[in-house]
Amino acid sequence: MIYALFLIWVAVSSSSAQQFYDPSGCSSDTSNQGSRYTCDSAQQPCRTFLVYRANQHFGHQNLLNISALFQVESDELLDLNNIASPLETLKRGREVLVPINCSCSGEYFQASLSYIVSERTSFPEIACGVFEGLLKSLTLLQDNPSQGTDVETGVKLDVPLRCACPGGFARFNGVKYLVTYPILEGDGITPLSMKFSIAPEDLLAANHLEPKSTVYPNTTVLVPLKSDPVMNLNVPDSPPPTPGFLPTITVEKTKNTKLRKLYIAGSVVGFFLIVVALLACGFYVKAVKKWKGERLQSFTDRNSVLSCSTARSSPRSGQTGRSSTNSCLSPDLLAGIKFSLYNYGIEDIKRATNDFNEDTNKIGEQVYKGLIDNESVMIKQMRFEDTRQVIDMHSKINHVNIVSLHGVCYGENDFAWSYLIFELPTNGCLRNCLSNQADRLSWRRRTQIAFDVATILHYLHYCIFPSYAHMSVNSRNIYVTSKWRAKLANIGSTLAISASTMNDKVVTVNGLVAPQNPMNEAASVKVDVFAFGVVLLELISGKEAAQGTFLKDSIRFLGGGANEGGCFEQLRSFIDPCLKNEYLIAEALCLAILAKACIEDDPLRRPSMDDILKVLGRMV
């Protein structure tokens, strides 16, 4: 069982075990994922390798000079690179394997060297010239902050070269070394994989690259090897890029003035035709806009006649009721609506909610349930300015696991408040289902609900542009249908944001604090991953996350320290007692480990929804 636990841990942590490729050049002054390879402080140092190219310009044309630069014995380089003598002058660009000691320093792997400057120079010259891009000039500057822009002769610098040790997932796949390889113009994934006799897919996976990805000069990649490194130096480089110019043939100047005049006349006529075409296009676009404006105004006028009369009919209920002029859709809002919505009157809403009866119809903050045309609906009150945002978001999405928006209604006297009418799934919210002791939620239904929620979050993160962070995922915003499938509500509310606009450092999710770094588009969706982990803990335990850090503390035994029997006993005590023994302990363990990974404090160590979906897909 311990081996099974290890396998599940490997599947969940695979994304964080890989390093990232940084496409920015050696001299770039920006720090990205992959500028330095990240590590866990608990990881042990390792013996690995890097590739260096013979360079006469900086005096490193033989193994004796190269071994002195990297502070290794020249005999090691002789055996490793099949070269006869340390004084043999190497061909310019000849690749040399160099052994290094790689260790974790703080958050990053590095091979620590020292370098004494022989003549006045700069950080980019040292990082990108002397060390051929094996570290970025920004990294060198950060590790030597006392130096200015120029580095004087005789100064001793600390040089943290890029390196990495195989993590748990890589070691599980048999990877023994991660060789740091500096990219030159003409290098590519296919020739590089042939040079080291590995599969291109392994090279892509080790650097978090997609198929057909481009690698750029003055960057580095990690080459995963399952045995001692051997380079095939006969593999040709990738064909160089197309030159920026083409060779020209000198043409004698013609003295034919008639032909010259013909060219001039043709150019004038061509220019005139282009101007005429542009003017015609401008008039056409203006006419189209005018025609669309007239159609929109005509539609608005018709809507005013139907919606603003003293008696109107709800398109869904068929019942008549009073509707003031303020219940009309404004032209601006109509212009933004990209799909069909019913326009209800305030009397329809009052009738459906028993005049907003808080005892029988209120199901949440400013949320009521009701019946319209014998169909259960959920009616949410919100400020007028927020309504358009929700409608606009629902117009861009189409997914079976999202609670559908049916219609809209505006207030009696002004536009300060409006109401949105949503479907209300039969079994209510997930929190109520977990709390219902009479009709307990089976384990199979719980895993299906987890998969459904992961599916819609994957859709929001990957299938719409820009990617979208929900920011309010919890068991009270997840609804369950009559067939026990999950639907996510509260899409497009002010809490949910475009992933590219988030820059908060701390987010509170159901009483648990989810620490965040200043976020970019990729990192902001990790807030949803954290919240999803909290929902998983509720599905496993049946307890509500509002109990603060209780749920998080309850799974600390998964971090190690407990023996096999103790681990499973603690897991069984954590699982909802309503389930009794009607669950698979392996699936429960997998969900618990997945939840623990989702609520990691460091957002970058949380799995993506793509990784989560792959794990849950094996259970349903």
Residue with structure tokens 């690749």? 95
Please check whether residue 1 is in contact with residue 568, taking contact to mean a CB–CB distance below 8 angstroms: yes
| CB-side neighbour CA atoms (13 Å) of 44 | 4
Residue type, 476: R
- The pLDDT, as a whole number, for residue 514 is 64
DSSP 126: I
- The pLDDT, as a whole number, for residue 315 is 45
Q: Consecutive 10-residue runs of the chain (620 residues): their mean pLDDT?
A: 47 57 90 88 89 87 92 90 90 93 92 92 92 93 84 92 86 88 90 93 91 90 94 68 41 57 86 91 84 55 36 41 40 50 90 92 92 93 87 89 92 75 95 89 96 96 89 94 95 58 49 55 80 94 73 74 68 91 90 93 92 92
Nearest to 95 by CA among 239, 241, 230, 185: 230
Nearest to 183 by CA among 18, 26, 20: 26
- The pLDDT, as a whole number, for residue 513 is 55
Q: DSSP of 405-467, one letter per residue?
A: EEEEEE-SS-SSEEEEEEE--TT-BHHHHHH-STTPPPHHHHHHHHHHHHHHHHHHHHSSSS-
- The pLDDT, as a whole number, for residue 128 is 93
- The pLDDT, as a whole number, for residue 411 is 72
Nearest to 134 by CA among 25, 220, 47: 220
Interatomic CA distance for residues 554 and 592, integer angstroms: 10
Q: Chain-centre distance of CA 332, in angstroms?
A: 34
Q: DSSP of 30-70, one letter per residue?
A: ---TTSS-B--TTPPPEEEEEEEE-BTTTTB-SHHHHHHHH
Q: Which helix (H) or strand (E) holds 317?
A: none
| Tokens describing residue 310 | 């003293």
Given this structure, which CATH class describes domain 339-424? alpha beta
Instruction: Kindly list the domain boundaries of the chain, sorted by start residue.
Output: 16-225, 339-424, 428-494+517-619
| Torsional class of 490: left (φ above 0), alpha (ψ -120 to 50), beta (otherwise) | left
| Tokens describing residue 260 | 């010259």
* Cα–Cα distance list, 477 to 5, 402, 490, 536 (Å): 32, 11, 7, 14
Interatomic CA distance for residues 84 and 169, integer angstroms: 38
Return the CATH superfamily for domain 428-494+517-619. Transferase(Phosphotransferase) domain 1 (1.10.510.10)
Give backbone dihedrals phi and psi of 221, rounded to 5 degrees, phi first: -130, 160
| Torsional class of 500: left (φ above 0), alpha (ψ -120 to 50), beta (otherwise) | alpha
Q: Which helix (H) or strand (E) holds 362?
A: strand 362-364
| CB-side neighbour CA atoms (13 Å) of 371 | 4
Give pTM, 2 decimals: 0.49
Interatomic CA distance for residues 131 and 126, integer angstroms: 6
DSSP β-ladder status, 342-344 and 405-410 = parallel
Write 461-467 long-range contacts (CB < 8 A, 24+). Answer: 461/499, 461/525, 461/528, 461/608, 461/609, 462/609, 462/610, 464/396, 464/397, 466/498, 466/499, 466/500, 466/521, 467/498, 467/499, 467/500, 467/521, 467/525
Q: Which helix (H) or strand (E) holds 161?
A: strand 156-161
- The pLDDT, as a whole number, for residue 314 is 47
Nearest to 204 by CA among 34, 13, 12, 20: 20
Interatomic CA distance for residues 370 and 378, integer angstroms: 6
Name the burial class of residue 195, with classes exposed (0-12), middle (13-18) and buried (19+) by CB atoms within 10 angstroms of its CB. Answer: buried
- The pLDDT, as a whole number, for residue 178 is 94
Interatomic CA distance for residues 376 and 404, integer angstroms: 12
Please check whether residue 406 is in contact with residue 492, taking contact to mean a CB–CB distance below 8 angstroms: no
Nearest to 221 by CA among 188, 186, 181: 181
